[in-house]
Chain A
Amino acid sequence: MDVIWQATLASFSMLMTLDDRLIEVILLSLRVSLTALVIASLIGLPIAACLAFTRFPGRKIILVSFNAMMGLPPVVVGLVVYLLLSRSGPFGVFNLLFTPTAMIIAQVVLVTPIIVSLCRESLESMRREYHDALRSLGATPAQAISVLVWDGRFTLATAHLAGFGRAIAEVGAVMIVGGNIDHVTRVMTTTIALEASKGDLVVALGLGVVLVLLSLTINFLVYGVRSLGEAKVAS
């Protein structure tokens, strides 16, 4: 009990003094996950729009696949990306394994299905609702899409927060493709895993606190975005 208490105190003082080791790890985490989120959004939003606004054979299957992929185990995603990027894999020539880029790729794979599924759902229900009104007003397809995206911005933002939450908190994928190399690919989750297994609770707990704070912040943001949405547009 005493050990834990001391570790907790030490970790707080580490946070308060903005320990270099800690900051480095936190910044890398944020860089990897935010980049992954941006890329996943660039890939996912157009796919979501396509699935929401068009009908084609096989659409249902794609839709269900993306829904299923929302729950992909990060370790398995990590493993697959590892195989693809490893020296003998198809993308081995790029030498990406054990770099932050590899971690970003793995997280893009994890986040994209979330963006696609949640954004598709939002856009589709908005479309169903607005369809007649927009046609009645004579909106062009481009005008219609911009109305749907703008009026759905709060739900779309919520979907992105959910994606970021998944990226920042996962450990399996970045561990495998990043390798948890000090000063290179060590992020919050992998550091916690490593330090805890070494018995160094101070760093692990400190980072744990940061992670919890981050996910709390995300949840507050989600809540805030929702209530802002309700207040502004009565959705």
Chain B
Amino acid sequence: MTGASPLPLRLESVGLSRSGKNVLKDVTTTFAVDPPKTVIIGPNGAGKSLLLQVCHGLISADTGIVDWATPQNARALSRAQAMVFQRPILFRRSAVANLILALKIAGFAKSEWRDRADGALERTGLSRHAATPARSLSFGEQQRLALARALVVEPKVLFLDEPTASLDPAAAHLVESLIDEAATSGVKIIMISHDLNQTRRLADEIIFMHRGRIKERAPADQFFTRPENDLAQAFINGELLWRRRRSIFDGALVDDETCSSEDFNKS
């Protein structure tokens, strides 16, 4: 809400394993205030959601360093960030009560709760659902409410995990303009998207992930015109990467399983 941005966020050799599998491998990168909008793309299971949660502090990395620039206490740090999950987690309360709870936890003055909550509902097109139990909203409405709840606390860094995945075109457009608006007002956006057109529209910079690694990171225009990584190239062209993988190795038929186990053994 107030205070300086805690950015840049630095990740160094971050590794994470789940059920004996290395799901994040040697991730080294930095998220700075500039450029405002970073979009993470990559195939299903690439580790995008996990990376976002590691950044947000919900999961602690098994190895490596996750480090915010400004030394702040944990509370100030968590209040400088907000996240919209891939599957919205809403409280068993009305839509407006969900927002008010977020404001309360974030430490806003009680007198401001109602106005701020109503404003956020208005901006996400949910005004007429203010009193509706959050969990009986449609999935797309729930996703917008989750975004409203993230925006209402005025974070410095906003993590978005596929925020438009189940939205109709108009609602997706609305959400995109909300994201743009937030970015313009100085909020750092770190967002996952599966929609390449959306990514083209929104992204200032792209991170391409594959099997737990960052394969490429580039300014958006450069990424789309001249991707350096062959997997990224294939991904933009809409190819299935697990098929593509076989042909990459000089036409030799490398079994997908072999690739992955070799990949996973190297931690």
Chain A contacts to B: CB under 8 angstroms? 129-130, 132-140, 143, 147, 151-152, 231-235
A132 touches B101 (CB 8 A): no
Given contacts A233-B133, A234-B135, A136 and B92 within 8 Å (CB-CB): no
B56 touches A136 (CB 8 A): yes
B58 touches A136 (CB 8 A): yes
In chain A, what residue has the closest Cβ to B83?
A: A136
Quick one: CB contact mask for B203-216 with A, threshold 8 Å, 1 for yes? Answer: 00000000000000
Q: Is B110 an interface residue (CB 8 A)?
A: no
> Which A residues are CB-close (under 8 A) to B134?
234
Number of A-B contacts (CB under 8 A): 57
In chain A, what residue has the closest Cβ to B132?
A: A234
Scan residues 79-103 of chain B and give those whose CB is less than 8 A from a CB of chain A.
79, 81-83, 85, 89-93, 101-102
Once bound together, how far apart are the Cα atoms of A78 and B134, in whole Å? Answer: 47
Given contacts A132-B85, A143-B105, A138 and B78 within 8 Å (CB-CB): yes
A138 touches B75 (CB 8 A): yes
Q: How far is the CB of A149 from chain B (nearest CB, A)?
A: 12
B106 touches A147 (CB 8 A): no
Q: Is B30 an interface residue (CB 8 A)?
A: no
Quick one: CB contact mask for B122-166 with A, threshold 8 Å, 1 for yes? Answer: 000000000001111000000000000000010000000000000
B85 touches A133 (CB 8 A): yes
> Which A residues are CB-close (under 8 A) to B75?
138, 140
Quick one: CB contact mask for B49-82 with A, threshold 8 Å, 1 for yes? Answer: 0000100111000000000000000010011011
B79 touches A138 (CB 8 A): yes
In chain B, what residue has the closest Cβ to A126?
A: B92
Given contacts A133-B85, A135-B58, A147 and B91 within 8 Å (CB-CB): yes
A138 touches B89 (CB 8 A): no
Given contacts A130-B89, A133-B89, A147-B101, A138 and B135 within 8 Å (CB-CB): no
Once bound together, how far apart are the Cα atoms of A91 and B57, in whole Å? Answer: 53
Once bound together, how far apart are the Cα atoms of A77 and B137, in whole Å? Answer: 48
Interface size classification for chain B = 20 to 34
Known: A137-B101, A138-B106, A147-B91. 6 other contacts (CB 8 A): A130-B89, A132-B58, A133-B91, A140-B75, A143-B105, A235-B92
> Which B residues are CB-close (under 8 A) to A129?
89
Given contacts A147-B91, A151-B91, A234-B92, A137 and B133 within 8 Å (CB-CB): no
In chain B, what residue has the closest Cβ to A134?
A: B105
> Which B residues are CB-close (under 8 A) to A152?
92
A235 touches B93 (CB 8 A): no
Once bound together, how far apart are the Cα atoms of A140 and B56, in whole Å? Answer: 16
A233 touches B56 (CB 8 A): no
Q: How far is the CB of A158 from chain B (nearest CB, A)?
A: 14
Q: How far is the CB of B189 from chain A (nearest CB, A)?
A: 16
Once bound together, how far apart are the Cα atoms of A133 and B101, in whole Å? Answer: 11
> Which B residues are CB-close (under 8 A) to A232?
133
Given contacts A137-B102, A138-B106, A234-B136, A132 and B91 within 8 Å (CB-CB): no
> Which A residues are CB-close (under 8 A) to B135?
233-235
Q: How far is the CB of A182 from chain B (nearest CB, A)?
A: 49
> Which A residues are CB-close (under 8 A) to B58?
132, 135-136
> Which A residues are CB-close (under 8 A) to B92?
151-152, 233-235
> Which B residues are CB-close (under 8 A) to A136?
56, 58, 78, 81-83, 85
> Which A residues are CB-close (under 8 A) to B81?
136
Given contacts A137-B105, A138-B105, A151-B92, A234 and B56 within 8 Å (CB-CB): no
Once bound together, how far apart are the Cα atoms of A134 and B101, in whole Å? Answer: 10
Once bound together, how far apart are the Cα atoms of A140 and B105, in whole Å? Answer: 8
B89 touches A139 (CB 8 A): no
> Which A residues are CB-close (under 8 A) to B101?
137, 147
> Which B residues are CB-close (under 8 A) to A235?
92, 135
Q: How far is the CB of A229 from chain B (nearest CB, A)?
A: 8
- Please list 21 pairs of residues, one from A and one from B, whose beta carbons are closer than 8 Å in the complex, sorted by A's number: A129-B89, A130-B89, A132-B85, A133-B85, A136-B56, A136-B83, A137-B78, A137-B82, A137-B101, A137-B105, A137-B106, A138-B78, A140-B75, A143-B104, A143-B105, A151-B92, A151-B93, A233-B92, A233-B135, A234-B92, A234-B133
> Which A residues are CB-close (under 8 A) to B104?
143
Once bound together, how far apart are the Cα atoms of A147 and B93, in whole Å? Answer: 10
In chain A, what residue has the closest Cβ to B79?
A: A138
Once bound together, how far apart are the Cα atoms of A129 and B79, in whole Å? Answer: 21
In chain A, what residue has the closest Cβ to B93?
A: A233
